[in-house]
Structure 1
Amino acid sequence: MERKRCDLVGVCSKFKPHLLMILVQLAYSILYFIAEASFNHGLNPYVYVTYRNILAGLLLLPFAYFLERKIRPKLTLALFLEIFVLSLLGVEVINLRNPRSIAKIVGTLISLGGVMIVTLYRGPIMKNVWPPLIHIHKDDHIHEEWLKGSLLTIASCIAWAIWYIMQAYTLKRYPAQWSLTTWMCLVGGAQSAVFTVIVEHDKSAWTIGFNIDLWSIIYGGVVASGLLVFIQLWCTEEKGPVFVTMFNPLLAVLVVLLSYFVVGERLHLGCLVGAMVVVIGLYLLIWGKEDQEGDINSTKERWKCTSDDPQKQNATLTDDLPLDL
């Protein structure tokens, strides 16, 4: 009985980052609907982003100060500029001789193809199975621009990828997750405030009532900009930026499912096909990455076992050298 309990704890510990990233994508999908409702209600998107980031930074500030007071590195000017810019790139190690590495490449391409299907291909409309569980007021003046929306979606994905990679780089020099999250929120709030002042000249746009606008800002600040960013930083430090970003296609699937089953929006066949393709690609990507990590760990174990024999060390290293690109 004790052994089964230990095995269960080990499995939960191993897949903890996976479960957390699935919950992150679910929370982000809920954010989309709450933000849409507040924007249809009249909330200015720029004001929303400003308030959301400032709220998250202020709430996280006490945690960052007290929990990381002894481990927080000194924030130099160069490091502050890294946090301000967030614009570096990174490379994933690929071994083309290993079928699991090939699975990572194929899975990534399949997931990307699935997202493109959801975005660009519509197809016939599918009939709703039941009435909507939640009604969201739609703005009748909004008109659909699929091409513009698709281009903005692709640009958003590229920006998110750069942001994730920059997080991994910065965490190596500033390994304080609470503090880094706080700084990103406060600096992001300041940037948004300056931009909003430039583009929005109506002072009444800054006024928030006790309605969906306020709840949207609270959810976006506390959950999205605060808690979810911290979880992603932790997963990035544990598994790397590629692991974190490979769950992003799941967001499109969750939004499609919630839109259809909960909100009652029309579901096109292209969305369903694209969602299935995304799941297949995500499964291949996770399988390739996890099994490759198992190979790396087993190689380290063999290295430890042969550490007393120099000849075995050389043989082990020669057999396990990957082809890195």
Structure 2
Amino acid sequence: MAERYFYKDLLPFGAMVTMEVINVALNTLFKAASMRGMSYHVFVVYSYAVAAILLLPAPFISRRSRVLPPLSFSVMCKIGLLGLIGCTSQIVGYTGISYSSPTLSSAISNLVPAFTFLFAVIFRMEKVAIKSSSTQAKVLGTIVSITGAFIVTLYKGPPIIILQRSLSLNQPTNNILRSVDRNWAIGGLLLTVEYTLVPLWYIVQVQIMKEYPNELTVVFFYNLCVSTMAAVVGVITETKASVWKIGLNTALASILCSGIFGSILNLAVHTHMLHLKGAVYVAMFKPLSIAIAVVLGVMFLGDTLHLGSVIGATVISIGFYTVMWGKATEEVDDVPRQEPPTTENAPLLQSYKTKWSEKTMDGTV
């Protein structure tokens, strides 16, 4: 029982929390590289290309390790659709981060549970029972999380922590804040588009895993599709050859870390969790990223921590745990209950009683 709880509940929970920490750390590293002039188009092409190269043996290893269904044309078309959604969301998302900050990205990412729940209901992947306490908890928790995201975005409040210039990557903190204020609306709009596409990515990924249940092979072809599509867009938008040259600097570190920990590890874990727990469960962990982003932004980007971020993160956490409670309650309710045995299930006992009575009447006992 304890082992089943570990693999079914505790391990997925720890894995998803770890992935959110990695995601925010990668966004923070990307922001640092973009502040030094790295193009987000080039970043997407290179990071996904690194992942595709490292995963190149995956399809051959997977075919030899276990029996898998054929990689049909239908599955490849769905992977292509997944790549189109992922490429669009990545380019739009990283553009939004370059205009704003990882903290705003993490705040708006709290729209993902709401949209995922909505899309899951539309595609009949999630049960809805209005009178059920689990459904009410998920709906209420989603609303609370979105409210917290609005608080973080719309209310800054007085500053709580202001770091010195030495911790802000050699960039004046006031200039960073002025730049963020000037481009806040553009970044927020682009990030909203990204986190509207993410739930669609979850839905399509779940359908793919039902037809072809091998995470590494799917992730390999996905990375290949995203890198190819992003390269086509990048060649059109980035015409200067100097933009595509990467030196031994923050940009290279961001590309390698994103390719290894983001495009491989993160995608593999998310794909497995989508197959194991479903789209809504994966989306529920997005609210945690805001608190992580605030801490990393203050520590490594020299962002100023405001009261609104603290209040918003607290509200988001309350909403997150409310949704978690609803999901846990739903899973408990779905476990079939054992019914007590009836007389129809015990014909041997009844036969034994009959024979005992006959022997007693004959005096043989």
Q: TM-score, normalised by structure 1?
A: 0.84
- Report the Cα distance in structure 2 between the residues aligned to 1:23 and 1:307, rounded to whole angstroms: 48
Q: 2:203 — aligned with what?
A: 165
Q: CA, structure 1 residues 17+78, in 2 after alignment: closer, same or farther (shift >3 Å)?
A: same
Q: 1:136 — aligned with what?
A: 169
Q: Do structure 1's residue 110 and structure 2's residue 110 form an aligned pair?
A: no
Residue 6 of structure 2, aligned match among 9, 12, 31: 12
Q: 2:99 — aligned with what?
A: none
* Matched position secondary structure for 2:230: helix
Q: 2:241 — aligned with what?
A: 203
Q: Give 1:79 shift.
A: 2.0
Q: Give 1:301 shift.
A: 3.4
* Matched position secondary structure for 1:145: helix
Q: Give 1:145 shift.
A: 2.1
Q: 1:301 — aligned with what?
A: 337
Q: TM-score, normalised by structure 2?
A: 0.76
- Report the Cα distance in structure 2 between the residues aligned to 1:138 and 1:278, rounded to whole angstroms: 30
Q: Give 1:212 shift.
A: 1.4
- Report the Cα distance in structure 2 between the residues aligned to 1:55 and 1:238, rounded to whole angstroms: 27
Q: Do structure 1's residue 26 and structure 2's residue 21 form an aligned pair?
A: yes
User: Greater shift after overlay, 67-76 or 152-161?
Assistant: 67-76
User: Within 5 A, what are the aligned runs for 1:82-121?
Assistant: 82-86=78-82, 89-91=119-121, 92-121=126-155
Decide whether the 8 Å contact of 1:120 with 1:150 is kept in 2: no
Q: 1:36 — aligned with what?
A: 31
Question: Counterpart amino acid of 1:12?
Answer: F
Decide whether the 8 Å contact of 1:177 with 1:234 is kept in 2: yes
Q: CA, structure 1 residues 262+210, in 2 after alignment: closer, same or farther (shift >3 Å)?
A: closer
- Report the Cα distance in structure 2 between the residues aligned to 1:64 and 1:290, rounded to whole angstroms: 35
Decide whether the 8 Å contact of 1:68 with 1:178 is kept in 2: no
Aligned length: 300
Decide whether the 8 Å contact of 2:62 with 2:217 is kept in 1: no
Question: Counterpart amino acid of 1:26?
Answer: V
Decide whether the 8 Å contact of 2:58 with 2:220 is kept in 1: no
1:100-145: CA deviation from partner (whole Å, max 9, x where unpaired): 22101101111122122212222222234x7689542448584532
Question: Counterpart amino acid of 1:242?
Answer: V
Question: Counterpart amino acid of 1:96?
Answer: I
Q: Give 1:258 shift.
A: 1.9
* Matched position secondary structure for 2:57: helix
Q: CA, structure 1 residues 206+307, in 2 after alignment: closer, same or farther (shift >3 Å)?
A: farther
> What is the root-mean-square deviation in Å for CA atoms of aligned residues?
2.5
Q: Give 1:149 shift.
A: 2.1
Residue 281 of structure 2, aligned match among 243, 247, 251: 243
- Report the Cα distance in structure 2 between the residues aligned to 1:307 and 1:49, rounded to whole angstroms: 63
User: Greater shift after overlay, 156-165 or 79-88?
Assistant: 79-88
User: Greater shift after overlay, 184-193 or 245-254?
Assistant: 245-254
Q: CA, structure 1 residues 258+133, in 2 after alignment: closer, same or farther (shift >3 Å)?
A: farther
Decide whether the 8 Å contact of 1:260 with 1:266 is kept in 2: yes
Q: 1:233 — aligned with what?
A: 271
Q: Give 1:239 shift.
A: 0.6
1:139-189: CA deviation from partner (whole Å, max 9, x where unpaired): 858453222222222211111111111111111112111111111101000
Q: 2:186 — aligned with what?
A: 148
Decide whether the 8 Å contact of 2:168 with 2:301 is kept in 1: yes
Q: Give 1:243 shift.
A: 0.3
- Report the Cα distance in structure 2 between the residues aligned to 1:245 and 1:22, rounded to whole angstroms: 11
Structure 2: where are the runs of 5+ without partners?
86-115, 346-365
Q: 2:92 — aligned with what?
A: none
- Report the Cα distance in structure 2 between the residues aligned to 1:185 and 1:11, rounded to whole angstroms: 33
Q: Do structure 1's residue 287 and structure 2's residue 320 form an aligned pair?
A: no
Question: Counterpart amino acid of 1:252?
Answer: I
- Report the Cα distance in structure 1 between the residues aligned to 2:341 and 2:323, rounded to whole angstroms: 32
1:42-97: CA deviation from partner (whole Å, max 9, x where unpaired): 21110110010111111122234203444343222332221112369532212222
Structure 1: where are the runs of 5+ without partners?
1-5, 311-325
Q: CA, structure 1 residues 202+278, in 2 after alignment: closer, same or farther (shift >3 Å)?
A: same
| Identity %, equivalent residues | 29
Q: Give 1:272 shift.
A: 1.1
Q: Do structure 1's residue 47 and structure 2's residue 28 form an aligned pair?
A: no
